């Protein structure tokens, strides 16, 4: 099966700095990955996704990098803002299967 983990359970960054949140997955057959943001009392909110045929994908202030060789992906948030404070989850999917979520990283933005 698939297992997904994150390198750090918590991350604190200064407002305006860039944030990098890392994630590792175990199944080399995983073909689709999503980063979700979850604020207190809410369901996970889609941030950005990437398919296994890509190495990098950019959104508004966010970039996801995928390294299939070492089964690692990262989420980069540029110019981190107080509103970015939340728990971030990566999720990995095997084709036809369901998403497996990591345990999450809590991002705190310091003033």
Partner 1 sequence: DAGVTQSPTHLIKTRGQQVTLRCSPISGHKSVSWYQQVLGQGPQFIFQYYEKEERGRGNFPDRFSARQFPNYSSELNVNALLLGDSALYLCASSLDGSRGYRYTFGSGTRLTVV
Q: Which of 22, 49, 71, 72 binds partner 1 (CB under 8 A)?
A: 49
Total site size for partner 1, rule CB under 8 A: 26
> Cβ–Cβ contacts within 10 Å for residue 73, how many?
25
Taking Cα atoms as reference points, which of 80, 70, 68 lies closest to residue 109? 80
**Angstrom distance (rounded) from CA 86 to CA 93:** 23
What residues from 13 to 32 belong to the interface with partner 1 (CB under 8 A)?
31-32
Phi, psi at 83, each rounded to 5°: -70, -10
4 scored as a contact of partner 1 (CB under 8 A): yes
The stretch near partner 1 (CB under 8 A) out of 11-19, 61-69, 72-80, 88-96 is 88-96
104 in contact with partner 1 (CB under 8 A) = yes
Q: How far is the CB of 24 from partner 1 (least distance, A)?
A: 13
- Rounded-to-integer distance, Cα 12 and Cα 86, Å: 11
């Amino acid at each position: 099966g698939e297992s997904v983990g994150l390198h750090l359970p918590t991350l604190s960054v200064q407002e305006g700095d860039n944030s990098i949140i890392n994630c590792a997955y175990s199944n080399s057959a995983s073909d689709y990955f999503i980063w979700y943001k979850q604020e207190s009392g809410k369901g996970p909110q889609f941030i950005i996704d990437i398919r296994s045929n890509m190495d990098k994908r950019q959104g508004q202030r966010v970039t996801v990098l995928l390294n299939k060789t070492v089964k690692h992906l990262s989420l980069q948030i540029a110019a981190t803002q107080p509103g970015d404070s939340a728990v971030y989850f990566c999720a990995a999917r095997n084709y036809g299967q369901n998403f497996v979520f990591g345990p999450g990283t809590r991002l705190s933005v310091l003033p």
